[in-house]
Amino acid sequence: MISEVVLQTLEFDKVRDQLARHAAFSASRELVAQLHPSTDGQWILQAQIRTSAARALIESFADVSIGGARDVRPAVEHARRGGILEASRVQEIASTLAAMRRLRGQVLRNHPDFVPLHPLAEQLPNLATLEHEIERTIGPDGEVLDSASAELGRLRSAIRVAFNRLQERLQAIINSSQYADVLQEPIITVRDGRYVVPVKAPQRRALRGIVHDQSSSGATLYIEPLATVELNNQWRELQLAEREEIQRILAALSGKIASEGMPIILGVEATAELDLAFAKAKYSISLRASQPLINAPAPADDLHPESTVSLLKARHPLLNQDLVVPTDVWLGGPTQMIIITGPNTGGKTVALKTVGLMALMAQAGLHIPAHQGSRLPIFGKIFADIGDEQSIEQSLSTFSSHMTNIIQILDRVTPDSLVLFDELGAGTDPVEGAALARAIIERLLNVGCLAMATSHYAELKAFAYSTDGVENASVEFDVETLSPTYRLSIGLPGRSNALAIAERLGLKRDLIERARATISRDNVQVEDLLAAIHRERSTAESEAARALELREDAELVRDRLSRELYEFEQDREQQLASYQRQLDEELREVRAELRRLRDEFRSVSVSRQWMEQAEQRLNRVTERVPQPPIPPKATTPVVPKVAIAPAPRTIQVGDQVFVSSVKLSGVVLDLDEEASEAEVQLGGFRLRVDLRELRLEKAGTAPTQAVQKYMPAQRMINTPPPPPNVSMQLDMRGWRASDVENQLDHYLNDAYLANLSEVRLVHGKGTGALRQVVRTLLKRHPLVESYNSGSQGEGGDGVTIAKMSTR
């Protein structure tokens, strides 16, 4: 447990004051006032994670807040004890319920960064029924609404009627000429809740009524006329009845609130905890703070891998964050204690308080104003002897006060403690003070705790240099500007700079030389050596900063080149995809052109000249396919080709073949090896079939002769006999659209060979899909001359009549 004296010494109470400014209502401000650094590692880690989650939520959704929540716990407790709440208190409870319901929805978002806040949000009650009941009964101004009950609405209506009657009667009295000389002035006023008129005292008997009051001079009496007494009574009785009805309504609401009392109280406490987390998050944002690593292992590239305290660019939270000079502090492992030396007002005490306050803030669940990656252990105890503790009441000098405090610290210090001493050994003889300081340091080293101390004693510089576990440190001072830089430099002791400062301030040269001559030669050499070390270290730091700057520039260039390379690769991939799409499109056009040429081939007469023209057109279409340029680092894309199915037999143009699909013999007119198809003359019509359907019957003569044999000028005299039993009607109802083309094509071929002039295709009406497929095929079929729907007697749109070609 860390004492309140240490909290005040390190000014943690001022941190709490700053934090309280970010709390939204009294319950969370009470939690801020009770906030105390913990020594429980699990609680500290959970509090740090909760603060980070609250900051992530606020930075993601700026509208997150506790809304109109109030600390209604006293009112709820009063209701639970059977008390009747005032309307304004009931309205505050409704506002709090609404705020908790909204807050619950805002926090319970499905995002992994907000999960640490979910346990608190789940404690927020969702009492929508009670909330709506209160809103229906109590208005925004805290008054019970007329709609709260039918009886209250009736009473208020009656009150308005009674009041209007009373006012009308009083207006009639003050406007009557009969009482013009009786009234002090023609007005209506109120005394003791009764409406009265001001009457001149000498004329009191001219207006019969009840005297309720008189003026301070006695010249005016406030009389309730007898004519309005009954109206006043009715009005007052209705008001009392209204008050009783309001009390009954509020009692009912108070009972409902009491029945939900515990969830409401727990919800207020959870809301206060959430608001405390929001306050910590807002405070973190204002300080540009970060979550410290608590007892986390150091990274492999850390210069001090065994450090337990590692503060990166730490800033004292109570100083102006835009003006304070950040400092790096590492402590722990081989460095158990740091002794800071240097001039006054140089920042030694600020460095002590910064480390101590950072530890307190971290153990209270607060982020610390330092860069990400800063680490802190969990200190079981923190001790601080800082400032002038001179006590007049106890007749203690500064030295005695410090020693009393140091004795108490040495009696209570443990290995998990942090000890901070300001001006250790000061206030007494320098020789004895330095010896005492060394003894105290050795005691702390034996205990094994971590410690920091400031001092002016030169002996302690040498002691720190020669003692394991102790490290020198200094705060830098700019002699040219006579001002401290507030930068803490660990590893080098501070210089006094007294003679340099005196010289810069104008002390005569001869006095400076005389003072220098009185200093021992060893001390002068030590000061000169320290000055040289400071200069060399400053130069090294400048070079390191320059190297870091160059490294950052190189990383920026590397990142830019990596980004450009990535964009180049993306662009290349997009270009390849574009070329591939273009090739696919061109190939689709080529295939469409080939299909169109095949369709033409079916419907036109074949001649050598026409075949040569078709071949030239096909070549021109193929030449239009562009070859994509070869992009860098990419192989030339290969244009896919249509696979050629191998013919089962060697068939040439002019051969006589048997077509298995129609069971007829014919002559081959043309071969399309790419599509594995052949054009065959079957009697008086041509048929395009797959090569696998052909069986060679007789090798033909020269191809040209075979083709010329079947030129249009020549008509076949001997045609194959028509297939037997070809019906004039084909019923396709129930067919699938994919079955139509092959089966209907075969039927039309048979009908043509049977010399049928027309056929009747029954497909039904249905959705019209089958009819559309049938008519699309008929439209381009070479054996069909025309087609139309059947008449009403023939089936209408459910039937298509196709007229066969006579060619």
CA atoms within 13 A on the CB side of 246: 19
Q: Which residues are annotated as a binding site?
A: 342-349
Residue 169 has pLDDT above 70, yes or no: yes
What is the greatest pairwise CA distance in the chain? Answer: 154
| C-beta of residue 450 within 8 angstroms of C-beta of residue 311 | no
Report percent pLDDT > 90 for the chain.
Answer: 39
Residue 647 has pLDDT above 70, yes or no: no
At 588 the pLDDT is 78
Q: What domains are there in the chain, each with its CATH number?
A: 4-127+260-287 (1.10.1420), 148-253 (1.10.1420.10), 293-505 (3.40.50.300), 642-720 (2.30.30), 729-804 (3.30.1370.110)
Q: Supply 399's token pair.
A: 């030295």
State mean pLDDT over 714-720. 40
Going from the C-alpha of 294 to that of each of 15, 298, 488, 636, the distances in angstroms are: 20, 11, 23, 58
pLDDT band at 744 (very low <50, low <70, confident <90, very high): confident
Q: What is the pLDDT of residues 205-230, one digit of tens each?
A: 888 899 999 998 889 999 999 989 99
Kindly provide the b/e burial profile for residues 641-655, where b requires at least 16 CB atoms within 10 angstroms of the residue's own CB: eeeeeebeeebebbb
Beta-ladder partners of 694: 659
Amino acid residing at 795: G
How far is the first Cα of the chain from the last one, in angstroms, to the nearest whole number? 113
3-state secondary structure 709-753: HCCCCCCCCCCCCCCCCCCCEEECCCCCHHHHHHHHHHHHHHHHH
Q: Cβ of 33: how many Cβ atoms within 10 Å? A: 14
**Distance between CA atoms of 268 and 216, rounded to whole angstroms?**
53
CA 638 to chain CA centroid, Å, is 47
Contact between 784 and 758 (Cβ < 8 Å) = no
Per-residue pLDDT tens digits for 660-701? 877 788 888 888 777 678 888 876 667 888 888 888 887 765
The model's pTM:
0.61
pLDDT band at 652 (very low <50, low <70, confident <90, very high): confident
Helix/strand/coil for 308: coil
Burial 546-574 (b: 16+ CB within 10 A, else e): eeeeeeeeeeeeeeeeeeeeeeeeeeeee
pLDDT in tens, 534-569: 666 667 777 888 888 888 888 888 888 888 888 888
Sheet holding 483-490, edge to edge: 381-385, 417-421, 450-455, 337-341, 470-478, 483-490
pLDDT at 395 over 60: no
Q: Which of 462, 479, 413, 458 is nearest to 440 (CA)?
A: 413
Query: Position 74: which residue type?
Result: P
List binding-site positions for ATP: 342-349
> Between 12-20 and 26-34, two packed helices, what is the crossing angle to 10 degrees?
170
Is residue 335 packed enough to be buried (19+ CB in 10 Å), middle (13-18) or exposed (0-12)?
buried
Give the strand pairing for 293-294 and 375-376.
Answer: parallel
Tokens of 497: 């700079």
